[in-house]
Amino acid sequence: MELNHTHDASRRSWLDSANAAGCDFPLQNLPLSVFRRKGSTEAWRGGVAIGDQIVDLGALQSLPGLQDSAAEAVRAAAAPTLNGLLELGPESWRALRHGLYGLLQSGSSLARQVREALVPQLDAEHAVPVRIGDYTDFYTSLDHAVNCCRQFGIEVNPNFDWLPIAYHGRVSSIDVSGQQVYRPAGQYRTDPSSAPVYGPCQRLDYELEVGAVIGIGNARGTPIPLANAQQHIFGLCLLNDWSARDIQTWEMQPLGPFLAKNFATTLSPWIVTLEALLPYRTGWTRAPERPQPLDYLRSADNAAAGAFDIQLEVSILSARRQAQGRPPHKLTRTSFQHQYWTLGQMIAHHTVGGCNLQPGDLLGSGTVSGPNPWEAGALIELTVSGTHPADIGDGEQRGFLKDGDTVVFRGWCEREDYARIGFGVNYATVLPAPGPP
């Protein structure tokens, strides 16, 4: 887990689009996805983003010049999911990254052969890149918690200071960017003194999150210590934890979210590996006046490099604006480094009771918000439960999402002396609720 030649910002690829300013996928990134050509019946297989292209790992299997460990990793990643690659472990992940880096950098003797394995990103469609066994969604932004609780005249629950709060989510409704999200229906109360009603959600919201894909798991009954927790992460992606706020308010007590969360979760197609993110780790601190974590949630490594400075942005594209050919309107810009708990602490707490994580498991960070008003990671926070609608351009406003709205997440990392790397785009469009059962 140390910086190496693959992080050298001076290195360039023989593919010109990978060297363009502002490119999400330069040589120093090399994220993975599962894809096929649009409209085809081709098998799904692993791919690696470089510039505006995808390296088809299925087509790369027969290429000479890869070391044995890298060749084995290519074969595993060419499958319909990346789980086989995850199970090979960190040494194989590193061999794949370093092998591809050598093939794609300027001066590679195999550039011509690799070029034949490229597929334009515009010609590709994506699937969820891993077979997800379990999904856990956390609640770890103090700014988000304070802003939401303040609206209801309550204090943040005392346990927020002591443990990363989470609930187990629904895997079957997780899909990849580009999906269409049906407005959910359920029970909610329009008047606290009256009986609930059934109908389509009236307060549909997004939640800006980072997803962590577990690479290697742990034996049941064997907790993962905080000092080792990052080694269990294969990579990160952008995650939208769609939320029905009116349904959620009614059903939350006493066991937490149910219908308000189980209808859709959207992932970006690209998993940015933890090795690519090493230059963007940063220190984690907590204000001295707040309670400090218990010993199992404290370590020198976590304090030195437990957080990640990932810039995150939310935009909304209304149906009207889309019809006019206008771009999405930006609403939020924040950083993942604001989270009150780190991914390592989430993993350590998740396993401290003996729970066994497995390759492909997904962790959601919880809504990412910052201390400023423009850093709110959800509409419930940004618009104060719809009472102060947000401007989405051309005279339109939103308290909560309307049918036809497309929500767009972007993420990237920047640091002086290192290449900018991006996460691509996570987007989905709201459709009307289906008819009653």
Domain of 172, CATH number, reads 3.90.850.10
pLDDT in the model for residue 79: 97
User: Cα–Cα distance between 328 and 345 in angstroms, integer?
Assistant: 35
pTM score? 0.97
| Domain co-membership, 118 together with 151 | no
Q: Is 139 annotated as a binding residue?
A: yes
Residue that terminates a domain, selected from 93, 127, 161:
127
pLDDT in the model for residue 219: 98
Per the domain annotation, does 14 fall within a domain?
Answer: yes
| Domain co-membership, 12 together with 155 | no
Per the domain annotation, does 358 fall within a domain?
Answer: yes
pLDDT in the model for residue 66: 82
- The residue among 30, 132, 135, 34 whose CA lies nearest residue 81 is 34
pLDDT in the model for residue 68: 87
| Domain co-membership, 247 together with 110 | no
| Domain co-membership, 123 together with 139 | no
134: phi then psi, degrees, rounded to nearest 5: -140, 150
| Domain co-membership, 171 together with 58 | no
Per the domain annotation, does 285 fall within a domain?
Answer: yes
Q: Is 417 annotated as a binding residue?
A: no
Specify burial of residue 91 (Cβ count, 10 A radius: 0-12, 13-18, 19+): exposed
| Domain co-membership, 108 together with 221 | no
pLDDT in the model for residue 65: 72
| Domain co-membership, 49 together with 171 | no
Per the domain annotation, does 436 fall within a domain?
Answer: no
Residues serving a catalytic function are: 144
| Domain co-membership, 268 together with 301 | yes
Domain boundaries, position 92: 5-127
Per the domain annotation, does 146 fall within a domain?
Answer: yes
Residue that terminates a domain, selected from 61, 93, 127:
127
Structurally, the chain folds into a number of domains equal to 2
**CATH number of the domain encompassing residue 39:** 2.30.30.230
Q: Is 38 annotated as a binding residue?
A: no
Q: What is the pLDDT along the chain (437 residues), one digit of tens a residue?
A: 799 999 999 999 999 999 999 999 999 999 999 999 999 999 999 999 999 999 999 999 888 778 889 999 999 999 999 999 999 999 999 999 999 999 999 999 999 999 999 999 999 999 999 999 999 999 999 999 999 999 988 999 999 999 999 999 999 999 999 999 999 999 999 988 899 999 999 999 999 999 999 999 999 999 999 999 999 999 999 999 999 999 999 999 898 899 999 999 999 999 999 999 999 999 999 999 999 999 999 999 999 999 999 999 999 999 999 999 999 999 999 999 999 999 999 999 999 999 999 999 999 999 999 999 999 999 999 999 999 999 999 999 999 999 999 999 999 999 999 999 999 999 999 999 987 77
- The C-alpha R_g of the chain, in whole angstroms, comes to 22
| Domain co-membership, 149 together with 263 | yes
Contact 350, 362 (CB under 8 A): no
- For β-strands 329-335 and 243-244, DSSP reports them as unpaired
Per the domain annotation, does 66 fall within a domain?
Answer: yes
Contact 425, 410 (CB under 8 A): yes
| Domain co-membership, 175 together with 252 | yes
Q: Is 367 annotated as a binding residue?
A: yes
Q: Is 207 annotated as a binding residue?
A: yes
Per the domain annotation, does 437 fall within a domain?
Answer: no
Q: Which two tokens stand for residue 100?
A: 């591809």
| Domain co-membership, 102 together with 173 | no
Q: Is 248 annotated as a binding residue?
A: yes
Q: Is 241 annotated as a binding residue?
A: yes
| Domain co-membership, 200 together with 321 | yes
Q: Is 342 annotated as a binding residue?
A: no
Per the domain annotation, does 329 fall within a domain?
Answer: yes
Residue that terminates a domain, selected from 101, 127, 153:
127
